[in-house]
Structures are given as C-alpha cells and as structure tokens.
Structure 1
Amino acid sequence: MRVALILLILLSATFAHATVYKWVDENGKVHFSDEPIKNAEVVEFKENTQNNIKLPEVTVIPSAPSEPEEKAIDYKMNIVSPTEEESVRNNEGDVTIITNITPQLASTHQLGLFMDGKQMGSKQTIGLFKLTNIDRGEHNFVVKAFDKNGKKLASTPSRKIFVHRTSVNQPRFIRPQPRNN
C-alpha cells in the first residue's frame, strides 16, 4: 500500500511540472493559465526565459582567535570590618576595610573600594584596604569586583561607619600651668 502511494506521489510530481497555455479572449486581452481552455495554445519557453539563480561563492573570512569567555562566577561579598555603624577613633584618620569574598577572586578580576560613591585608590586583587587621613564624620563604603574589561561582577552591601578625630582647632598638647598660691 505504501509503495503504491509513493509511486502515485512521484507520478503526480512529474505531471506537476505544468504546461502553460495562452489564449486571447473576445476583447483582445491575452490570458495565461495552467489549465487547457478551448482555442488555447501551448507556450514554449526558451532556456533563457527561465529563472536561474546563481549564488555567489561563500568566502570564509578568517577571524582573530577569540579569547575563551570566562565562566561567570557568582561572588558573595561582604565587609567584615569595621562593622555597621561602628565608630573608628583615630586622630590620623586611619581606617582599614576588610572584605570577605567567596569563592576566591579569579586572577583576572580586581576589587575596587568606594567611599561615599568615589573610588579610593586603584583596584587590587586582595580584600584588605588601608586608608589614611580620612575626614571625620559619617562615611559609606562599598567594595566592588570587576572583570578585566571593567564590568562590575559583584558588590558588597553599603557599610556605614563613623570616623572620630580630634578637632584641628584644639591644641595637641596642653601644657600644665603652675598654680599660683
């Protein structure tokens, strides 16, 4: 049964290459059809009237060897020290920020420390930042991880700390005054 169906389809496909018929109606209008009509004549096509499409040859442009894409790493980061809203008392304004990162930072990735929205120093590969001469007052710190192209990969939550320094208006050393009896 299947073989007969396949043969029938193949035979109908050969007849599907339809013949084109041309005729002129009583108004002088020329018509074309694939069905024979009374007084219609078969149109013979020359080889140059058939559409032949030639596609241009595909040229392969050699590409530069691409660098393997780095697998995206989901870093978990937080600032360990100082704690949230901790008061740092240091007259020189020294503050040390310690960051915990898991998993370990990839060799091509770097960390940047931001204080009050501005980057402090250059990017580095370790999570220990030592700052000096920080003004007294409230400061917000964020540490961000970047790939080699500067794209941000991860960030710590903002950490608010307070820096306490002796006022510059107060003298550093108060000399004891002798008593008058």
Structure 2
Amino acid sequence: MRLPLIISLILCSIIISSSHATVYRWVDENGKVHYSDEPRENAEAVDLNANTQNSISVSIPTETEVMKKSAEPITYRVRIVNPTQEETIRNNQGNFTVVASAAPELPKGYLLALYIDDILYGQPQSSAIFNVTEVNRGEHNLVVKILTQNGKVLASSSARKIFLHQTSILNKPRPTPRT
C-alpha cells in the first residue's frame, strides 16, 4: 500500500516540475507588447526569476516631523443638543433621551459618558444618543464627557439643567364643590 503511494507522489512531483512553462514576449506590427506561454515567430523567452524581485524603500521620519505632529494636539469639544437648558420633561416613568454632539468626529475607541447629577449613568458608549430610564422627578444636571478607553477625560460639556415632572398619587385632583 505504501509503495504505490510513494510512486504516485514521485510521479506527481516530476510532472509538476517539468510543467514549468516558459513565457514568451513579442511585439506585434502595431508596437503592442504581448506575452504568452506558446512560442511565436520573433518571440523571445523571458526569464521571470530575474524580473519578479520586489524592493521596498521606507523613509524614516525625522525627529522634527514627529515633533510637529505631536506638538499639535487635537482639541475635542462636546455639547448637549437635547434636552435644552432648563427644559421641563413630563414623563411618569422618568424616561427621556439625551443627544450629544462631538467635534471633530471621534476616532474609533473613544467613548461618550453621560453623568446625571455627577454620577455616571450606564456604561460609556460610542453613540451620542443616550436613552435614560427611571430617573426620579426633580431638578437634574446633565454632563457628557469624551473618554479614552483607559478612562482619561478629553472633553466635557457644560452642565445642562433639566426638570423632570411626574404625576403623583399624592396630587390627586380634588373635586370642586358645586354651589
């Protein structure tokens, strides 16, 4: 069983090595260059091993180029677009949406974090839209911060004051006496 396998492998390797085709190059009457694996009249054989070597040159940046790039840090800005300053939100479940805007566009890996009354709400995220749920009624201050993945604060919005109103069971409408 092994002998036929070894013989077939040897035959395959001989066939593959002998099938290495020669490439021919010729120029037609219009001056167009052609390549083929079949010999033609006035065709010359092309040595591919000599012509297929690639070389790459890399220029190393000088210290001044690196210093110029690092000397100009990008200044990020973030602001809260919605809700507006001192807006009254009426929602019995305490749900509302905060929309922020960052400039310039944040690179991949930077996150936005929402703080309600100086407490981080949820996890930092890449989206600038925060769906806030189950916040108690009253006055709240909202701040959005741009964070790196290691938690460094790059920018912070100004505080946005909002008022959340919810109906209360204690504030039942009282019947008015009829006269």
TM-score normalised by L of structure 1 = 0.53
Match of 1:113, as an amino acid?
L
User: Which residue in the other structure is 2:48 paired with?
Assistant: none
Q: Deviations over 1:115-164 (max 9, x none)?
A: 00000000000110011111100000000001121110000000000000
Give the C-alpha shift of residue 169 in structure 1. Answer: 3.2
| 1:28 paired residue number | none
Partner of 2:89: 88
1:1-181 superposed matches below 5 A? 72-169=73-170
1:168 and 1:124 map into 2 onto residues whose CA distance is 36
User: Which blocks of at least 5 consecutive residues in structure 2 are unaligned?
Assistant: 1-69, 174-179
Question: 5+ unaligned residues in a row in structure 1: which ranges?
Answer: 1-68, 175-181
> How far apart are residue 170 of structure 1 and its match?
5.0
What's the C-alpha RMSD, in Å, of the aligned pairs?
A: 2.1
Residue 77 of structure 1 aligns to a residue whose secondary structure is strand
The CA distance in 2 between the partners of 1:144 and 1:168, in whole Å, is: 36
Structure 2 length normalisation: TM-score? Answer: 0.54
Query: Alpha-carbon deviations, 1:159-180, whole Å to 9, x = none?
Result: 0000000014357xx9xxxxxx
| Distance in 2 between residues matched to 1:152 and 1:133, nearest whole Å | 27
Superimposed CA distance per residue, residues 36-60 of structure 1 (whole angstroms, 9 cap, x where no aligned partner) = xxxxxxxxxxxxxxxxxxxxxxxxx
Write out the 4+ residue segments of structure 1 that deviate beyond 2 Å after TM superposition. 168-171
Aligned to 2:43: none
Between the aligned partners of 1:164 and 1:136, the Cα distance in structure 2 is 5
1:152 corresponds to which letter in structure 2?
Answer: V
Aligned residues: 104
Distance 1:74 1:147 in 2: 13
Question: Whose Rg is larger?
Answer: 1
Task: Name the amino acid aligned to 1:127.
Answer: A
Q: Please give the secondary structure, in 1, of the residue aligned with 2:170.
A: coil
TM-fit CA distance, 1:72: 3.8
SS for the counterpart of 1:169 is helix
SS of aligned partner of 1:79: strand
1:60 counterpart residue number = none
The Cα shift of 1:95 comes to: 1.3
Identity of aligned residues (%): 42
The residue type paired with residue 119 of structure 1 is L
